[in-house]
Structure formats: structure tokens, C-alpha cells
Amino acid sequence: SASAPVPARDPSFAQLTSDDVRFFQGVLGLGGVVTDDDLLAVANTDWMNKYHGKSKLLLRPRTTEQVSRVLAHCHERRLAVVPQGGNSGLVGGSVPLFDEVILNLGAMDRIVSFDEVSGILVCEAGCILEKVDAYLAERGFVFPLDLGAKGSCQIGGNISTNAGGLRLLRYGSLHGNVLGLEVVLADGTVVDTLKTLRKDNTGYDVKQLFVGGEGTLGVVTQAAILTPPKARAVNVALLACASFQDALTAFRLAKQELGEVLSAFEFFDRTCLDLVLKHHSAIRDPLPPEEDGAPPYPFYLLVETAGSNQEHDSAKWDAFLEAASAGEVVQNGTIAQDAGQAAGLWAIREGITESLAKNGVVYKYDFSLPVTDLYRLVEDTQQRIGPLGVAVGYGHLGDGNLHLNVSAPAYSDALRARLEPWVYEWTAQHRGSISAEHGLGQMKPHALRYSKADSAIELMASLKRLLDPRGILNPYKVLPDEADKRDAT
Ligand code: FAD
Ligand code: 2HG
Ligand code: ZN
């Protein structure tokens, strides 16, 4: 099968009635209440086409007040709700399991304000990342987060998954860059922490609960985000290494020689590149072996710098490439000569997830591991599954984040039983995390204990009960076995 055992529908949740639908139409207008089968089919299905819900209702609020009135009603009526952004999440968090009402934020897509001195942006949760980034680019700034799903994912979804992406190495995580949030709690209470200050030590930093909250604690409606100035000098190179050990040495050299301008250090193995070449006819192998008939390189690095002075950065690149060529740490490489070529190199790295999706079914894992052990998990996985599938490894090497994907022709119990819980045990033994950046969603609540102490899980559950006593927000996600602990009153 595709996934972990599916829980039963929690019988304490109400069933949707025509009175409910009429109430929502009164709040949102007819356009904000969607019951069309085709639109519901899309909203019920995740990006991977792996998780399928059965919701009969999709709501599209336009204001925070509407979100508040909708949630107050759902709370009162015990209707379960799935907050949804661009529905690009990779752990089944954004789709219902059963008949939960889908609350999509896409119609709340206004930019509220931007301060060109501080670089602080305030926008609504439904803004699409790529559009916000384009708005900022016109003003000489960038969004501190970038990722392959930028054309569809929303700021609210990014914040709720605490997405990491391709620039985290340089700009840090959203826990640092989100300065304020407006959030609606399960009972409709609007919590305003929408401050636009760098520093604010006025007690507990409650907004952080919603950064990575995966829609289980509240619905994010607005955010204040610190954005850095857009770099004037951006340089991108693709490098090939003969071993993973060499890739690690190259990372050390990059930190030493490129220093503070290093903005991305990504890696992928040859099988990933082969998949991208197979499924994207416009992309050519950028680094064919130098001698005819020689085997292709097994590892590739995408290195980016973002600085303010091309001359300074060129000198740094010269020093880095000289150090990396000495001792053949890097076997071959290509440096983008313009923005178009840089985008071409990024397209390879950002095209891996889609290529895997086109190739068959995928068992997708997202681990934080000590970098030295990181690729061994891919090799051990391949050995363990044998001919049942193909294990590939790629990810944010600079952050110690491995995306282990196992590609197979079809989901099978035999393959899943070889993979789980073994991959989680492997990660626990290496003191890693079972989710570096994608979250837990409906895929991993049962595996949470491999990465978090019981005491911490219990505190998470207490916070959930405090903020959402009836458990209506994104049930069956993130926390293990919540149903039996809910307030039954
Ligand atoms: P959704 O998928 O709609 O929702 C994700 C979760 O957030 C769900 O639990 C949902 O309930 C909740 N949620 C959504 N909006 C709100 C809201 N307003 N309030 C409360 N809860 C909400 N992730 C990374 O971290 N790094 C990557 O590099 C990366 N690359 C990707 C590349 C591709 C091609 C794809 C398909 C996905 C990638 N992802 C990556 C996964 C990633 O989690 C998302 O793309 C993104 O952050 C999710 O945003 P979304 O708007 O699509 O949210
Ligand atoms: C990436 O880094 C995304 O490309 C997706 O986080 C990873 O599909 C994956 O496993
Ligand atoms: Zn990633």
C-alpha cells in the first residue's frame, strides 16, 4: 500500500448538513462555497496523487473576519476542517482523510504593506510565493525562501510547514524571518501578533507555534516577513564529484573560500540527473564525461553565491575552484555565464521531484542527518530493497537535509515493509530527524517518536488541546493518537 495504516473517522465530528452549507453561503457568498465535483476532486487530492480525501465542501474566504466566522461555526458544530494553501505539500497534510471541510486561503492574496527601508513585508496568507518574490524583485528585495513549488505554494502554507528550501543556508528558517502573524484559532478567535519589529521580547513568542504548525493549531491569515535585499552579483555553478566524500570536502572548501556570499549548496546523485534527463526533453546533460566511454559522474553539486560586488565574488570563486580542483575534489564543472544559464542549472535541481513523480510511484522521505552519514542511508536503502525499487538521494547538503526517494512501478506492501520502520530506525540511530522540512502531515504522525522524546510529544498534545479543545483543525495529522484525548464536551 501507499502509506501508513489509516485511522478510522472520529465519530465525535458532525456530518455536514444543508443548513451548514447555507450558513457558509451567508458568510462567504455563493462564490466562496464550492460543491462542484471536479473542483472538489482536485482539492481532495494531494500533489503526489497519493492521498485522497472525500470532502464535500471547499470554502474560499476573502477576509480574516470570514475565516473567523467560518471557524466559530465549525467549532460550535464540531465540523472538522483542513486548512489548505497551494496544496503542494508532500506529506498529505493539506487534504482531508474523510469528509473534513476544506478551507482554502487562495482568495486572500493581497500584499498589505512593504517598507523599503526595513525590508519588512506584510501580506495575506494566500499570496503565491512566486508572485510575492516578483513584487519584491521590482523593489530590489527577495523573499528569504525559495523552492521548486514557488509557482503554486502560498505564504500561509510555507509558514505552516516551516518550509526550508533552497536559500535556508543563507537566510535562515522562517522561525527567524517571520516577524509577526495574524492567526485564527479553532473557535474563531483572531490572535494578532502582526508586529513588524526585528526585536520583541514581550514574553512568550506565541507566533512560533504556528510556524510549522501544519494547520493543526490555527489558520494563518496574514504574515509579516523580513526580506533581504536582492543580491547584485549572483553566480551559479554545477560541479561533479567522484564520491560523496569529495562532495563533503567541496562543502568545507565552499564555506572557507566563498564565506558569507555562499547562498546555496545543493546535491543530487547521478540517478536523479538521469531521471531529469529522461522526463525533460529540453534538458541536456550539462557535464558529460570528458573522455568518450568513461562512466558518468556519481555526484553533482549546485553551488550558488549571492553578493553585492561581482569583482569580489569572482575572486572568491577563483579561490574556491582552485582549491576544489587541487586534489581533484571536483572532477568537472560548469559556471553559468548569465541569468538564463543559471536558471537552466537550477531547473535540473528543481526538476527532480517532478521527474520522480512522472517516473512511477514514490516513497518519499525527508531526513535531517549528520552530513557525514547522509548518503550512506541511500546506499543502505538500495541494498535493503534490492530489485523492488530504485533509491535516489538529493537535497540541501548545506543544511544536512537528505531527500531519500524510492521510485517503483507501483505501491506494494512488500516494498513498504522493507522500508518502514527500518528507515526511521536508521535515522533515530544516527540522531537524525524524520522530517527536516516537509512536516509530518498524515504520513508520519505514527513515526514521530523516532525523532521526539515522549515528554516533548506530550507537551505538543497539551498545546493542541489548549488551542483546539475539540480537535477540529486538521485532525489525524501531526500528532499520534489524538482522538481518544479530545474534550468530549
Ligand atoms: P499546502 O500543501 O496547501 O499545506 C501544507 C500544510 O500547511 C497543510 O498541513 C495545511 O493544512 C497547512 N496550511 C496551508 N495553509 C495554511 C494556512 N494559511 N494556515 C494554517 N495552515 C495552513 N518544501 C520545503 O520545505 N522545501 C522545498 O525545497 C520544497 N520543494 C518542493 C518542491 C516541489 C516541486 C513540491 C511539490 C513541494 C515542495 N516542498 C518543499 C513541499 C512544501 O511543503 C510546500 O511546497 C509548501 O511549503 C507548502 O505550501 P502550500 O501553500 O502548497 O501548502
Ligand atoms: C526539494 O528540495 C523538495 O526539491 C522536494 O523539498 C523533495 O521531493 C522531494 O523529496
Ligand atoms: Zn527540499
Judge whether 273 and 322 are in contact, CB under 8 Å: no
Q: How far apart are CA 46 and CA 84, in angstroms?
A: 10
**Closest alpha carbon to 300 in 266, 262, 336:** 266
Q: How far apart are CA 142 and CA 265, in angstroms?
A: 18
Please give the distance, rounded to the nearest whole angstrom, from the Cα atom of residue 206 to the centre of ligand 1: 21
pLDDT confidence of residue 487: 47
Q: Angle at which helices 422-429 and 376-385 pack, to 10 degrees?
A: 150
pLDDT, mean of each 10-residue run, the chain (489 residues): 75 98 98 98 97 98 99 98 98 98 98 98 98 98 98 99 97 98 98 96 97 98 98 97 98 97 98 98 91 92 97 98 94 96 98 98 98 97 98 98 98 96 98 98 96 97 98 97 52
Q: How far apart are CA 461 and CA 168, in angstroms?
A: 28
- Count CB atoms within 10 A of the CB of residue 61: 26
pLDDT confidence of residue 460: 98
pLDDT confidence of residue 291: 84
Q: Is the dihedral of CA 239, 150, 401, 168 positive or negative?
A: positive
* Residue whose cell numbers read 451567508: 26
SS3 call for 386? helix
Q: Whose CA is nearest to atom 1 of ligand 2?
A: 395
In short, whether 82's Cβ falls inside 6 Å of ligand 1 is yes
CB under 6 Å to ligand 2: residues?
A: 90, 148, 352-353, 364, 395, 403, 405
pLDDT confidence of residue 6: 76
Single pTM value for the model: 0.97
pLDDT confidence of residue 290: 80
In short, whether 84's Cβ falls inside 6 Å of ligand 1 is yes
Which triple of cell numbers denotes residue 33?
462555497
In short, whether 344's Cβ falls inside 6 Å of ligand 1 is no
- Count CB atoms within 10 A of the CB of residue 409: 11
Mutate to test the pocket of ligand 2, among 46, 90, 166, 354 (most ligand atoms within 8 A of CB): 90
Q: Do 233-352 and 360-450 show the same overall fold?
A: yes
Mutate to test the pocket of ligand 1, among 68, 91, 161 (most ligand atoms within 8 A of CB): 161
User: CATH number of the domain at 18-105+463-485, out of 3.30.43.10, 1.10.1660.10, 3.40.1380.20, 3.40.50.1370?
Assistant: 3.30.43.10
pLDDT confidence of residue 5: 66
CA distances from 340 to 109, 150, 214, 321 (A): 29, 18, 35, 22
Mutate to test the pocket of ligand 1, among 153, 272, 477 (most ligand atoms within 8 A of CB): 153
Burial class (CB in 10 A: 0-12, 13-18, 19+), 1: exposed
> Of the ligands numbered here, which is closest to the C-alpha atom of 354?
1
Burial class (CB in 10 A: 0-12, 13-18, 19+), 191: middle
pLDDT confidence of residue 4: 64
Q: What is the largest CA-CA distance in the chain?
A: 73
**Closest alpha carbon to 446 in 480, 410, 476:** 480
What's the fold here for domain 233-352? Alpha-Beta Plaits (3.30.70)
Please give the distance, rounded to the nearest whole angstrom, from the Cα atom of residue 119 to the centre of ligand 1: 24
Mutate to test the pocket of ligand 2, among 352, 361, 368, 437 (most ligand atoms within 8 A of CB): 352
**CB under 8 A, 24+ apart: contacts of 187-195:** 187/71, 187/72, 187/75, 188/68, 188/69, 188/70, 188/71, 188/72, 188/73, 188/75, 189/68, 190/64, 190/68, 190/221, 191/218, 194/122, 194/222, 194/223, 194/224, 195/224
Please give the distance, rounded to the nearest whole angstrom, from the Cα atom of residue 173 to the centre of ligand 3: 13
CATH 1.10.10.10 fits 111-226, yes or no: no
CA distances from 217 to 177, 194, 198, 475 (A): 20, 17, 24, 10
* Residue whose cell numbers read 531521471: 275
Torsion angles phi and psi, residue 306, rounded to 5: -135, 110
pLDDT confidence of residue 486: 46
CA angle 445, 447, 451 (to 5 degrees): 110
pLDDT confidence of residue 411: 94
Question: What's the per-residue H, E or C state across 415-438?
Answer: HHHHHCCHHHHHHHHCCCECECCC
Domain residue spans in the chain? 18-105+463-485, 111-226, 233-352, 360-450
Burial class (CB in 10 A: 0-12, 13-18, 19+), 411: middle
Q: How far apart are CA 203 and CA 393, in angstroms?
A: 42
pLDDT confidence of residue 293: 86
In short, whether 159's Cβ falls inside 6 Å of ligand 1 is no
Query: In CATH, what is the architecture of 360-450?
Result: 2-Layer Sandwich (3.30)
> Of the ligands numbered here, which is closest to the C-alpha atom of 368?
3
Ramachandran sector of residue 156 (left: φ over 0; alpha: ψ -120 to 50; beta: rest)? alpha
**Ligand 2 atom closest to Cα of 165?**
2
SS3 call for 91? coil
SS3 call for 234? strand
- pLDDT tens, position by position, 23-51: 999 999 999 999 999 999 999 999 999 99
SS3 call for 462? helix
Judge whether 115 and 123 are in contact, CB under 8 Å: no
Torsion angles phi and psi, residue 332, rounded to 5: -160, 165
Judge whether 171 and 144 are in contact, CB under 8 Å: yes
